[in-house]
Amino acid sequence: MERGYRIRSKPLYDPLIWEEHATDHVVIAYAEGGIGVLKLFQQMTPKEPIKVLFADDEHAQRSYHDIISKLVDEGLQILDDKEGVLSAVSATLDECVMGTQFYIAGNEDFIWAASQILKSAGVDDKNIMKEQCGSLARPVYCVHCKTIDPEVHHNVYTCPGCGRHLFVRDHFSRRLGAYMGLMVDAEEPGNIPDVEEIYP
Amino acid sequence: MSVLNVTVANVEQITDVVKRFTFVQENGEALPKFSGGSHVVVSMNINGRTHRNPYSLMSSPANTESYQIAVRRQDNSRGGSVFMHEQVKPGTKLTITYPVNLFAINRLGKKHILVAGGIGITPFMSQIADLNRLGADYELHYAYRSAEHAAFRQELEALCGDRVHFYVEDDGSRIDFGDLLSHQPLGTHAYVCGPEPMVKLMLLTAKHLGWPSNHVHSEQFSAPPIGDEFTVILTESEKEIVVPGDMSMLEAMEEAGVDAPFLCRGGACGRCELEVVETDGALLHHDHYLSDAEKTAGNKILPCVSRAKCTRLVVNL
């Protein structure tokens, strides 16, 4: 990897911290994002109204909703799954006014799925606090057939849409909420580099 | 910098202290297109000295046959507005810069709250033409001193219908920023142009109500204030220039034949920023561009509006 060089579109994430000047707080989390919620509630809890929308990953071994229910005493909605959280976000937006601070915790696919719902309501992702939790799996967009694979763990993977072998780049599209995946053996069909898990 | 040669086609007295000027291009051609919120810098030759003042374009961007600006007469300043009021008549020839926009509407905004104080109404008049054309949701809140200062009120009523709200200071009516900014839908952008205390109050209120700074926009053009004489030393062009008390540093450099960069000439855009190498006194910052930290650090200056209280100021130019 070239040193002293970065792809500017690659998003960087920070731990969630309560925003001092908000009038309302909405925390959106899924699966391992539960850790982000728990860390947030270890800080001094703000006085303003708080809403927490959370679902466990039903297939995961670890669940967080019990602990979160004990810590969050108001405004908590435990949903069934990821889709449940995302539709609860949509349902919440109409009541929200300027001054509401949004927090998202989860893997990268979830962070950007939730960000896109907020964006449709006019919330700029720069103003959303985002914490990446759990897996480093990347959502990747196939530039050839436009299929997005929500969780890619390897440097090279097979596109579920067109079957091409795609190389995962660092270039990230905020509009699509995904990294760019590019055919790796276009010039020499079958010449595929070693496949390694680099986004565990 | 390329300029446009214009002829004054019309001058209208709007209130006691505000006149509106209509410019057409001297060669009869259409003027360049611009976007709502743009301004031009008007050059004036006053007693052999060139003054350049920024003014917002207030005519509709859909009209490229002419540009309109409004000038409020400021008697206690350096004379640009008085010159416009007293010397500029229909037929007067002037040069203006191409329009530049430092106060554009955010096209991704779901709703727009426009707040004007006094002559600060002008950039909104071209923005409203854009907002109407786009069918955007907006509100205009316009505060002025007294009924006789209600510049453009009827035009605004015709342009905005029930989207415009008037506040007359002498009647005790003020904009309640806390109320205005506490129940706006997500995706709203707020814009303010007016006297400094009003701009500061709105920015501060928005911050305390949790508005992210990229949803709050302001424009203020300062006139260069009068100060004490000092000498500016340019390291690269190896010149020593005396800046008289009633001239800005930028004007003094231009007078001495230095091709210094500039754009807005009102301390808003930062284009003229210079690196301060050393000074034996204090910098007097009057711009709205540098952060407080940068102003305190004292190694940058905007010569269009800022000056120094010193005998010598060395800058890298």
Which residues have C-beta within 8 Å of that of residue B4, sequence separation ≥ 6? B25, B31, B32, B40, B95, B96, B97, B98
Confidence at residue B84, expressed as pLDDT on a 0 to 100 scale: 96
| Cross-chain residue pair B210–A99, CB shorter than 8 Å | yes
Chain pair A-B, CB pairs under 8 angstroms: 58
Quote the minimal CA–CA distance from A18 to chain B in Å: 12
B309 occurs within a structural domain: yes
Task: Supply the mean pLDDT for chain B.
Answer: 94
- pLDDT average, residue stretch B189-217: 96
Mean pLDDT, rounded, for B177-199: 96
Q: Are residues B158 and B211 in the same domain?
A: yes
Contact A97 B186 (CB under 8 A): yes
Report if residue B133 sits inside a domain: yes
Query: Cβ separation of A21 and B210 shorter than 8 Å?
Result: yes
User: Does residue B106 form part of some domain?
Assistant: no
Residue B208 at interface with chain A, using a CB cutoff of 8 Å: yes
Last residue of a domain, one of B83, B101, B119: B101
Average confidence score pLDDT of chain A: 95
Identify the closest residue of chain B to A92 by CA–CA distance: B186
B87 shares a domain with B14: yes
Could you tell me if residue B123 is inside a domain? yes
pLDDT at B310 over 80: yes
CB B192, CB B198: distance < 8 Å = yes
Query: HSE-up of B209 (CA within 13 Å, CB side)?
Result: 22
Architecture of the structural domain at A24-132? 3-Layer(aba) Sandwich (3.40)
| B181 → closest Cβ in A24, A98, A100 | A98
Contacts of A90 in chain B (CB under 8 A): none
CA distances from A91 to A88, A127, B23, B185 (A): 5, 20, 52, 14
Of B108, B210, B214, which is closest to A23 when you measure between CB atoms?
A: B210
Q: Does B172 lie in the same domain as B92?
A: no
Percent of chain B with pLDDT over 70: 100
Residues linked to residue A130 through DSSP beta bridges, in sequence order = A104
In a domain, B298, yes or no: yes
| Distance (Å) from the alpha carbon of A107 to chain B's nearest alpha carbon | 25
Hey, what are A136's tokens?
């480093």
Domain boundaries, chain A: 24-132, 138-183
Q: Which residue among B196, B219, B242 closes a domain?
A: B219
Question: Whole domain around residue B37: which residue ranges?
Answer: 3-101
Answer yes or no: do B189 and B242 share one domain. Answer: no
B167 is a domain residue: yes
- Name the pLDDT band for B1 (thresholds 50, 70, 90): low
The total number of structural domains that make up chain B: 3
Report d(CA A181, CA A25) in Å as an integer: 35
Average pLDDT over residues B266-284: 93
Of the pLDDT bands very low, low, confident and very high (cuts 50, 70, 90), residue A2 is: confident
∠ Cα A10 A16 A22 (to 5°):
110
CATH at residue B262:
3.10.20.30
Judged by CB atoms closer than 8 Å, whether chains meet at B186 and A122 is answered as yes
Say yes or no: B156 and B208 in one domain.
yes
The interface predicted TM-score of the complex, written ipTM, equals: 0.90
Is residue B201 assigned to a domain?
Answer: yes
- Look up tokens 């915790």; give the residue: A105
Chain A residues inside the 8 Å CB shell of B108: 122, 124
Contacts of B110 in chain A (CB under 8 A): 121-122
Q: Are the CB atoms for A141 and A157 separated by under 8 Å?
A: no
- List chain B residues with CB under 8 Å of A124: 108, 212, 214-215
Among B112, B113, B177, B186, most A C-beta atoms within 10 A, so best to mutate, is B186
Cβ contact (<8 Å) for A21 and B215? no
Of the candidates B175, B193, B219, which is a domain's last residue?
A: B219
Predicted confidence (pLDDT) per residue in B62-101, tens digit: 999 999 999 999 987 778 999 999 999 999 999 999 999 9
B65 shares a domain with B33:
yes
Chain B residues with CB-CB distance to A95 below 8 A: none
For residue B108, the chain A residue with the least C-alpha distance is A122
Chain B positions in Cβ-Cβ contact with residue A101 (cut-off 8 Å): 210
B225 occurs within a structural domain: no
Point out the least confidently predicted range of A137-146, B52-61, B262-271, B297-306: B262-271
Per DSSP, the three-state class of B165 is strand
User: Does residue A1 have a pLDDT over 70?
Assistant: no
* pLDDT digit string, tens, across residues A85-130: 999 999 999 899 999 999 999 999 999 999 999 999 999 999 999 9
